[in-house]
């Protein structure tokens, strides 16, 4: 994108802060600040993830809205290859891989079940727009080619790494789309009647929304672990989406 990246950190409410802090340090994020109630992680001083302790919190029930995954965007496919190499060597909790045509992606879960995508974009010149919509699909990831191109693996994610997108389970696709359109997002692609991808300025997606927890999934509740909020420079005041997720300005 030609302008300032529009997403800031995502905030997760966690049941065991100490365990989550240890995991994300191992995963490759750098702790920027923290105390007994919260911790901020990022890359090269830029925040990507906030963890907030949830005393007496509870697990997320089924058929509820919330986080499907948050996605960490690496600067290059070479760095993604290096991250894959380290994931295999250190047995990071890899749960899946995919070639999405516009990007290549690795998937993980943290100890509390929060989904994490680590990905690198393909050049925009390679993106395809059949029937006027961007083609975002799922195909087999070419492991061998990615590893052949890999830069040396590093313990910590490099500068230029950002929160690439947030993907949410929602209760109503139309209501969620309308809310985010009111913030200037546009629909870029959809998968059947269960998943949509939205963004600013033609990016493949800064936001994914899906019905994988079922239509009418119950909104996020304050005492349930998982996503609380994410930041964007495209709002001036905090706003709560139809699923109970807070969207906040930077700061």
Q: Can you give the CATH number for the domain in which 59 is found? A: 3.10.180.10
Asked if the structure places residue 15 within a domain, the reply is yes
Asked if the structure places residue 163 within a domain, the reply is yes
Question: What is the spatial distance between Cα 242 and Cα 63, in angstroms, rounded to a whole number?
Answer: 15
What was the pLDDT predicted at 2? 52
What was the pLDDT predicted at 177? 98
Residues of the domain holding 24: 7-248
Report the percentage of the chain scoring pLDDT > 90: 96
Average pLDDT, the chain: 96
Beta carbons within 8 Å of 54's beta carbon, 6+ residues apart: 13, 14, 15, 223, 225
Number of residues that make up the chain: 251
What was the pLDDT predicted at 68? 98
The pTM for the full model equals 0.97
Asked if the structure places residue 2 within a domain, the reply is no
DSSP H/E element including 41: strand 38-43
Asked if the structure places residue 50 within a domain, the reply is yes
Number of structural domains in the chain: 1
Asked if the structure places residue 1 within a domain, the reply is no
What was the pLDDT predicted at 74? 98
Asked if the structure places residue 111 within a domain, the reply is yes
Is residue 61's pLDDT more than 70?
A: yes
Tokens of 125: 């010149």
52 bridge partner residues: 13, 38
What was the pLDDT predicted at 3? 72
Mean pLDDT within 52-58: 96
């Amino acid at each position: 994108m030609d302008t300032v990246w529009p997403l800031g950190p995502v905030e997760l409410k966690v049941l065991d802060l100490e365990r989550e802090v240890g995991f994300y340090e191992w995963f490759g994020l750098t702790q920027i600040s923290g105390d007994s109630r919260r911790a901020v992680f990022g890359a090269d001083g830029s925040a990507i993830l906030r963890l907030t302790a949830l005393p007496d919190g509870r697990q997320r029930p089924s058929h509820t809205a919330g986080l499907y995954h948050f996605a960490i965007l690496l600067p290059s496919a070479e760095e993604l290859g290096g991250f894959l190499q380290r994931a295999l060597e250190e047995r990071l909790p890899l749960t899946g891989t995919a070639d999405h045509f516009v990007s290549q992606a690795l998937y993980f879960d943290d100890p509390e079940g929060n989904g994490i995508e680590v990905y690198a974009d393909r050049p925009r010149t390679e993106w395809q727009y059949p029937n006027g919509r961007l083609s975002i699909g799922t195909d087999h990831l070419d492991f061998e080619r990615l590893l052949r191109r890999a830069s040396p693996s590093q313990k910590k994610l490099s500068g230029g790494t950002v929160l690439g997108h947030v993907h949410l389970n929602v209760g109503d696709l139309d209501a969620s789309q309308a809310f985010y359109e009111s913030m200037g997002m546009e629909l870029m692609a959809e998968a059947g009647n269960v998943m949509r991808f939205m963004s600013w300025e033609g990016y493949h997606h800064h936001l994914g929304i899906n019905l994988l927890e079922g239509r009418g999934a119950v909104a996020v509740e304050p005492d349930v672990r998982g996503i609380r909020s994410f930041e964007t420079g495209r709002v001036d005041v905090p706003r709560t989406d139809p699923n109970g997720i807070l969207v906040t300005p930077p700061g």
